[in-house]
Amino acid sequence: MRAGADAGKLAQGLERTAFIRQAFRLEWVTIVWMVIEGVVAIATGAIAHSLLLLAFGIDSVIELASAGVLFWRLSVELRDGRTFSEEIERRAGRIAGGLLFALAAYVIAAAAWGLWRHHAAEFSLPGLILAIVAIPVMYFLSKQKLAVAELLGSRALRADAFEGIACGWLSFTVVIGLIAQLALRIWWVDSVASLAIVYFLIKEGREAWEGEECDDDCACDNS
């Protein structure tokens, strides 16, 4: 009987390891994509003097840092079989949340300055292509992460998946803003469109700061 129980635990352990490896691969893809997204968005934003693209790029860098923390945690569990404490999770979340709040404040201040100075950004085709591609990429990654988070009972991975969903909506907002800028040729479109992403920045920041709460029937851990 004991041998059967030990075999069952071993099978469960191997199954969990397989799920962790899957989450690990998803975080690798996320990190690679966020590097590409951040570099291209910041570069095109600087060239076009576009606050909308700059904010998009800086948000990608912050999400890259968040993905890096989760990647680190998954690596430790995969290597040592141990998870991080709730305190470390909370501290990392508050750092990410604080950075997102700071970015929201920067976007508001820069947009107000741009509106006051009648600043007009140039349209960026590479920026538009990037934002369009980002929508299906973030949808795919978020869907996969939610499925693995359910199997692992991982609150951290679930929160990371929801950050990806918010990033997808942010990408959609950037697409709408850039298309409006191209179609309307109005100087204030970039500043006004950049203000639209503040909602997503504050929402992501608040969720990261407060932490993702699980339902009563959700088996959560700190993985």
pLDDT at 217: 40
Instruction: Give yes or no for a contact between 194 and 51, defined as CB atoms under 8 angstroms apart.
Output: yes
**Dist. CA 118–CA 120, nearest whole Å:** 6
Q: Categorize the per-residue pLDDT at 5 as very low, low, confident or very high, splitting at 50, 70 and 90.
A: very low
Calculate the CA 2 to chain-centre distance.
44
Instruction: Give yes or no for a contact between 66 and 34, defined as CB atoms under 8 angstroms apart.
Output: no
Helix 2-48 to helix 125-152 angle, to the nearest 10 degrees? 170
- The residue among 51 and 71 whose pLDDT is bigger is 51
Q: Categorize the per-residue pLDDT at 88 as very low, low, confident or very high, splitting at 50, 70 and 90.
A: low
pLDDT at 126: 95
pLDDT greater than 80 at residue 77: no
pLDDT greater than 90 at residue 127: yes
Cβ partners under 8 Å of residue 63, min gap 6: 34, 163, 164, 167
- The residue among 209 and 81 whose pLDDT is bigger is 209
The percentage of the chain sitting over the pLDDT mark of 70, rounded to a whole number, equals: 82
Measured CA to CA in angstroms, residue 113 lies from 6, 36, 100 at distances of 65, 29, 20
Q: Categorize the per-residue pLDDT at 120 as very low, low, confident or very high, splitting at 50, 70 and 90.
A: confident
Provide mean pLDDT across the span 144-154.
Answer: 86
Instruction: Give yes or no for a contact between 50 and 127, defined as CB atoms under 8 angstroms apart.
Output: yes
pLDDT at 21: 87
- The residue among 79 and 33 whose pLDDT is bigger is 33
pLDDT greater than 70 at residue 81: no
pLDDT greater than 60 at residue 63: yes
pLDDT greater than 60 at residue 66: yes
Measured CA to CA in angstroms, residue 62 lies from 35, 65, 70, 72, 121 at distances of 10, 5, 13, 16, 24
| Domain covering 2-209, topology | Alpha-lytic protease prodomain-like (1.20.1510)
Instruction: Give yes or no for a contact between 59 and 205, defined as CB atoms under 8 angstroms apart.
Output: no
User: Could you tell me how many residues make up the chain?
Assistant: 223
